[in-house]
A and B are shown apart, each in its own frame.
Chain A
Amino acid sequence: MTAEINRRAWMSLLAKAPANRLNALWQAHGATPAFHWLRAPEIGASMVRGRLGGTGAPFNLGEMTLTRCALQLESGELGHGYVQGRDKAKARIAALVDALMQGPEAEAVAAGILTPLELEMAEAKTDRAEKAAATRVDFFTMVRGEDS
């Protein structure tokens, strides 16, 4: 179960990661594992749903682009890539990272790629939240009338 939660977490991180950063960290990590495609990268879409009133029955909001692929390392691990947007190179790296995370290199890949990505993405999110916080209205009440 924990393994599934972890895999869910890293796949989610890879899906949302900025492509240029993922690519740079992958290159810097320097792994070139041999693999073969189970499903070559393909571009498609997912229908994004919302809920009536935010909490009620689902409705179709519109689609988003998505790229997916699946591969197998020569050492046997299966890797799946599901990433936002139309980027076959990013999907390939995501699938390779997914596969490597299931093998002996997991720790090095996590330290070299996933952790820095996670930190950077959290930092970007915090940066926006801090800017939003500065636009929060602090009401104060003016004393009016003759009462004292």
Chain B
Amino acid sequence: MYVAVKGGERAIDNAHAWLAEERRGDLNVAELSVSQIREQLSLAVNRVMAEGSLYDPDLAALAIKQARGDMIEAIFLIRAYRTTLPRFGASAPVETEAMACDRRISATFKDAPGGQVLGPTFDYTHRLLDFALAADGEVPNIAKGEARTEPTPHITDFLNKEGLIQTEATSEDVPGDLTRAPLELPANRPLRLQALTRGDEGFVLSMAYSTQRGYARNHAFVGELRIGKVSVEMEIPELGFAIEIGEVELTECETVNQFQGSKTEPPQFTRGYGLVFGQSERKSISMALVDRALRWEELGEDNLGAPAQDEEFVLYHSDNIQATGFLEHIKLPHYVDFQSELELIRKLRREALENANPIQEAAE
């Protein structure tokens, strides 16, 4: 329990004023603009949009500035803002098949139609600090090739044709929404994916890593990873037809995992799926691995007692805003709580001492 305590207003106001000064930093250094953050720290912006669960690069950049670069604080700001927005509707499911791919790679097929397109990747860099960036911001000339105009097919389509991989059951059911109804277990896969895509990147990464190290082992190949923009289409009731209301950058990861066949079914590969706002490839791969681990029951696998198989554990601990809210609240005043604990421990100690020294008590 924590109770309202008066008397801190002046201290709080002064603390916040100082926070603003510290945020600004040295006045001799040029102030960072929101558009600079949006353009030059775009992967931070992407993370805030993904975990804040709201696609708006300008708002995410503002949140990062306000939070002094504290990502979870920035995500918190976006989540809080999100709740103030009226919802105009829900989009039709985005067609990732039609994505304008900036990047598209497959670890399973070298010669996949559409090719291996590296895009603006950190892969194959030497991870050496580039001191030239500290000196100037000049960019090299960018090579150009012949633009692909046709859509890039999904890799899993090729496996599908031979029946080598499980197909996803199609449905047009309205998915449950974590932002509207509290999470109840057992959750279905759509709810799990919603929780994972907005879950903390570090948490989802660690869960995924644990499956690779042997906790709920299910060896995953990255069948495909693609990053690019897709159009978002929504039915407009007053018009009676759907229009594109915008476009979002997404990262999609499809994993191909092993699967034992059964008496009735020949062996087939199984799938894990990750889809995340922005260029968020670590998160997307992680999401696909955890999605696959959580599917153990429907795929008839053993529960090995691994954390990544435990839906309750994963889903109730993946949200960094819930986590930080509960964690950080313990630093707020708990004076009355603690007072009762103090009285209790004093009483217990007194009793213990009395029991240990009955003679002394008699003497008194």
Contact = CB atoms under 8 A, between A and B. Distances in A.
Interface residues of A, number: 54
A53 interface: yes
Interface string B210-252: 0000000000000000000001101010110111111110101
Contact of A15 (B87, B246, B277): B246
Contacts of A8: 241-243
Nearest to A135: B118
Interface string A37-54: 000001111111111111
A65 B59 contact: yes
Interface string A1-39: 000100110011001100000000000000000000000
A128 to B, nearest CB: 6
A53 B111 contact: no
Interface residues of B, number: 85
Interface of B: 49-50, 53-56, 58-59, 82, 85-94, 96-97, 100-103, 110-111, 115-121, 142-149, 154, 156, 167-179, 189-191, 193-194, 197-198, 231-232, 234, 236, 238-239, 241-248, 250, 252, 254, 271, 273, 275, 277
A15 B79 CA distance: 24
Given A58-B93, A131-B144, 13 more contacts: A7-B239, A46-B90, A47-B87, A50-B96, A55-B167, A57-B172, A58-B173, A58-B175, A62-B49, A134-B142, A135-B103, A136-B115, A139-B111
A63 interface: yes
A64 B54 contact: yes
A94 to B, nearest CB: 11
Interface of A: 4, 7-8, 11-12, 15-16, 42-66, 68, 70, 80, 82-86, 125-137, 139
B118 A45 contact: no
Contacts of B239: 7, 11, 80
A49 B53 CA distance: 12
Contacts of B91: 46-49
5 contacts: A7-B241, A12-B245, A62-B49, A132-B147, A133-B117
